[in-house]
Amino acid sequence: MTLLLRMAWRNLWRHARRTWLTVTAMIFSNVLLVFMIALQFGTYDMMINNTLRAFSGHLQIQAEGYQENQRIRSSIPSIADLARDTRGALPSVGVSARAAAFALASSEERSYGIQVIGVEPEYEPTVSTLPGLLAHGRFLKDEMVPEIVIGAVMARNLKVTVGDEITLLGSGRDGSFAAAVMTVVGIFDTGMAEMDRSIAEVPLPFFQEVFAMQDHGHQVVMALNDLDALPAATAAVLPLADAREGLVALDWVALNPGLKQAIQADMSSAWFMYGVLIVLVAFSVLNTQLMSVLERTREFGVISALGVRPRRLAALVMLETTLMALLGLLIGLALGWLVTVYFHQAGFTYPGMEQAAERFNLPSRIYPSVTFSSILLGPSVVFGFCLLASIYPALRLLRLRPVDAMRTVA
Amino acid sequence: MAEIKCVDLCKTYLQGDAEVRALDHVTLDIEPASFICLSGPSGSGKTTLLNAIGGLDELDSGAISIDGERVDRLDGGALADLRLRHIGFVFQSYNLIPVLSARENVEFVMQVQGLPARERSQKARDILREVGLEGMEDRRPAQLSGGQQQRVAVARAIVSQPKLVLADEPTANLDSTSADQLMRLFRDLNDTHGVTFMIATHDERVMRYAKRLIRMQDGKVIGDDLQRPIDR
């Protein structure tokens, strides 16, 4: 250990209580930041997964331009074959084909414009939580039958219930008149009013028949178990999309730009709060180091008189801050990691969360994300700001005049 | 050995509203291996002269050269280097670094000079033995008496074999025995290594060791006498 390092370390403990107070502030903020950021990342993962698993999935293959303009003619031929090939390429991923069209749904009393989705009943539960949210009746069977499941709000609006009939009127892919009479077999309640009001699902083969789709569809939807697997899944799907003309693979960011924006907005407000905490810690360091420099002015004057250049004195102060910040970093990181790992295993919940989660078919606990970035991000920023805070006390030493400094009364 | 030339040095301080002439047209020639005492009452300009020669304080006018190099024209960094390599300081109140042991205090300057750890450790031990502090190398300043601390300060000042040692009231906080021991040490270094000493003092006992006695008053040199020093 060099003499300068030894000196810096011992200088820290000349006022042990003051140093510990500053280090404790760093430890507290580091523990809090490690846990809060990990919890925040865990919450985002849950938000993304839950939102995507509700309907859109993490990844879709679509005809080029379909996402922007959902015309019935922007379809994919042999959609069931493409879905089967995708299942082969991604055996551990939920894959299901869909087709979609707008239609007028009429009951005996009322008519509403709705979006009709043709789904593969066998595979749809692997990409969407909607089949698990049925409040009444059952989900579709994988048969060529005129059955339909509708949202709770739509059922209320049309004044229908399970067993009643609905008439669909729309346009087929070839421009022909599409019409069908269908029996309501299930009513889902997602808790999301827009979805419950506007979406109805029918078996894909029946949809293709009614809307003259032949073997066409509009989306192959994929739902992953882990968001981190997205890059690998995208890489596996791209060749399938590229092999057919006019197809694209879109990830969740392209499919749900609003979700990404919501996360970014939340992250911005959270970092504002973290910023306040970090600035407070930085000011604590500034105060400690400034006091330390001021009360050692005479000593610095003597050292300077011995021939030590001012920049070396400034380096000594920076070194002292670095050691103090390292102490806060290491202890804070260790404690923060322990707390976070505990909640990563046990899950984190707050009063009322379990009831809400049960209603929306969501996990009842949040699991903080234990990753390199979630653990290190906050403490690294605290460390950096602590070093920045020591620049001002260090700069004062650059202007030190030995003869004046030595006249200072300690 | 250092040859020092001071030509027409002037320095004025403001003390409140009053102007104090700390150096008033001081001109001195100091031969290599000199052993000089600066005497005079407080405020006579002794410390200001030492500080100016050591590059710690700026002059209003005049020129100082050490071995032909103009000290008054050097910038802060070059002055720091000059002090580091060629000038040793001994202060009245020792001014040791409290968090370092006696040996580390002596090593400190050598570390800044860039000497390897083993060499500076050996040199520090040797010089501490020379000043009579063998066995006390690992004590912190607070664990040493005033005389012992001043010896550490002297060891720190001379360990790099400077050309010039500037001492400001080095015996002011010492008892007479310790003061005598210190002055003998200075004289020994002067006689054996040719180190130039300039010592500002009020102490008549210290002045007896000087080969040349310069008397100052109100910033002026009022007496400059060669004398036969007492036998060390």
Domains of chain B: 32-58+75-226 (3.40.50.300)
Q: Give how far the C-alpha of residue B141 lies from the chain's centroid of Cα atoms, to the nearest Å.
A: 20
DSSP B217: E
Contact B111 A7 (CB under 8 A): no
Distance CA A105, CA A114 (A): 6
Residue-level pLDDT at A362: 61
A410 against B113, higher pLDDT? B113
Whole-number percent of chain B with pLDDT over 90: 47
Facing residue for A302 by CB, picked from B76, B77, B91: B91
| Chain B residues 29-68 with a CB less than 8 Å from chain A | 51, 54, 56-57
pLDDT in tens, B74-112: 888 888 999 998 999 998 788 899 999 999 999 998 988
Sheet holding B87-90, edge to edge: B87-90, B164-168, B196-201, B35-39, B212-217, B220-226
Chain B environment of A309 (Cβ under 8 Å): 76-77, 80-81
Q: pLDDT tens digits, residue range B152-185?
A: 998 999 888 898 999 998 888 778 888 888 888 8
The C-alpha angle with vertex A11 and arms to A7 and A14, in degrees rounded to 5, equals 145
Burial of A163 (0-12, 13-18, 19+ CB in 10 A): exposed
Chain B CB contacts of A15 below 8 Å: none
Chain B positions in Cβ-Cβ contact with residue A307 (cut-off 8 Å):
80-85, 87, 109, 112
**Cross-chain residue pair B108–A299, CB shorter than 8 Å:** no
Dihedral class, residue A264 (left if φ above 0, else alpha if ψ from -120 to 50, else beta):
alpha
Q: For B144-149, what is the mean pLDDT?
A: 89
Half-sphere exposure of A78 (CA within 13 A, CB side): 10
Blockwise average pLDDT, block size 10, chain A, 410 residues: 85 92 95 94 84 87 92 92 93 94 92 94 92 92 88 94 94 91 93 88 94 94 88 91 89 89 90 93 93 91 90 92 95 96 90 69 79 92 94 90 78
Q: How far apart are CA A28 and CA A158, in angstroms?
A: 57
Residue B84 CA to residue B64 CA, distance in Å, equals 18
Give chain A positions within 8 Å (CB) of B110.
none
Q: Which of A305, A308, A310 lies at the smallest CB-CB distance from B56?
A: A305
Residue A7 to residue B97, Cβ atoms within 8 A: yes
Cβ–Cβ under 8 Å, residues A379 and A332: yes
Do A47 and A41 form a contact (C-beta atoms < 8 A)?
A: no
Give dist(CA A253, CA B12) in Å, integer. Answer: 74
Report the 3 state secondary structure along chain A.
CCHHHHHHHHHHHHHHHHHHHHHHHHHHHHHHHHHHHHHHHHHHHHHHHHHHHHHHCCEEEEECCCCCCCCCCCCECCHHHHHHHHHHHCCCCEEEEEEEEEEEEECCCCEEEEEEEEECCCCHHHHCCHHHHEEEECCCCCCCCCEEEEEHHHHHHHCCCCCCEEEEEEECCCCCEEEEEEEEEEEECCCCHHHHHHEEEEEHHHHHHHCCCCCCECEEEEECCCHHHHHHHHHHHHHHHHHCCCEEEEEHHHHCHHHHHHHHHHHHHHHHHHHHHHHHHHHHHHHHHHHHHHHCHHHHHHHHHCCCCHHHHHHHHHHHHHHHHHHHHHHHHHHHHHHHHHHHHHCECCCCHHHHHHHCCCCCCECCCCCHHHHHHHHHHHHHHHHHHCHHHHHHHHCCCHHHHHHCCC
Looking at the partner chain, which of A11, A306, A406 has a beta carbon nearest the beta carbon of B99? A11
Residues 203-242 of A with CB under 8 A from B: none
The helix/strand/coil state of B69 is: strand
Residue B193: other Cβ atoms inside 10 A: 13
Four-CA torsion A279, A285, A288, A291, nearest 10 degrees: -70
Q: Which of A4, A10, A309 lies nearest to residue B77, judging by beta carbons?
A: A309
Please say whether the beta carbons of A293 and A397 come within 8 A.
Answer: yes
Residues ≥6 apart with Cβ < 8 Å to A231:
none
Neighbours of B100 (CB within 10 A): 20
Q: Are A214 and A208 contacting, i.e. CB atoms less than 8 angstroms apart? A: yes
The residue of chain A nearest to residue B58, with distances taken between CA atoms, is: A403
- The count of residues in chain A is 410
List CB contacts (< 8 A) between B107 and chain A.
Answer: 3
CA neighbor of B137 nearest in space, from B116, B162, B159:
B159
Task: Give the Cα separation of A271 and A267 in Å (integer).
Answer: 6
Arithmetic mean of pLDDT, B193-219: 91
Measured CA angle at B75 (ends B71, B81), to 5 deg: 75
Query: Does the CB of B13 have a partner CB in chain A at under 8 Å?
Result: no
Contacts of A11 in chain B (CB under 8 A): 99
Q: Which residue has the tokens 């400059």?
A: B224
**pLDDT given at position A410:** 54
The residues in B 92-151 lying below 8 A from A, measured between CB atoms, are 95, 97-100, 104, 107-109, 111-112
A134 neighbors A196 (Cβ within 8 angstroms): no
pLDDT tens digit string along B7-51?
999 999 888 888 888 999 999 999 999 999 999 998 899 999 999
Hey, what are B9's tokens?
């040095």
Q: Pull the structure tokens for residue A208.
A: 């293709």
- Cβ proximity of B175 and B147 under 8 Å: yes
Rounded to an integer, what distance in angstroms lies between the CA atom of residue B131 and that of residue B159?
A: 11
ipTM for this prediction: 0.88
Instruction: Tell me what pLDDT residue B92 has.
Output: 79
pLDDT at A358: 64
Instruction: Give, as one character, the DSSP assignment of residue B225.
Output: E
Within 13 A of A210's CA, how many CA atoms are on the CB side? 29
Using a 10 angstrom Cβ sphere, with 0-12 exposed, 13-18 middle and 19 or more buried, the burial of residue B75 is exposed
Q: How confident is the model at residue A401, as a pLDDT? A: 86
Residue B139: other Cβ atoms inside 10 A: 16
User: A316 is written with which tokens?
Assistant: 């000594």
Q: What are phi and psi of A383, to 5 degrees?
A: -60, -50
The residues facing A249 across adjacent strands are A61
* Number of cross-chain residue pairs from A and B with Cβ atoms under 8 Å apart: 66
Nearest to B112 among A312, A402, A406 (CB): A312
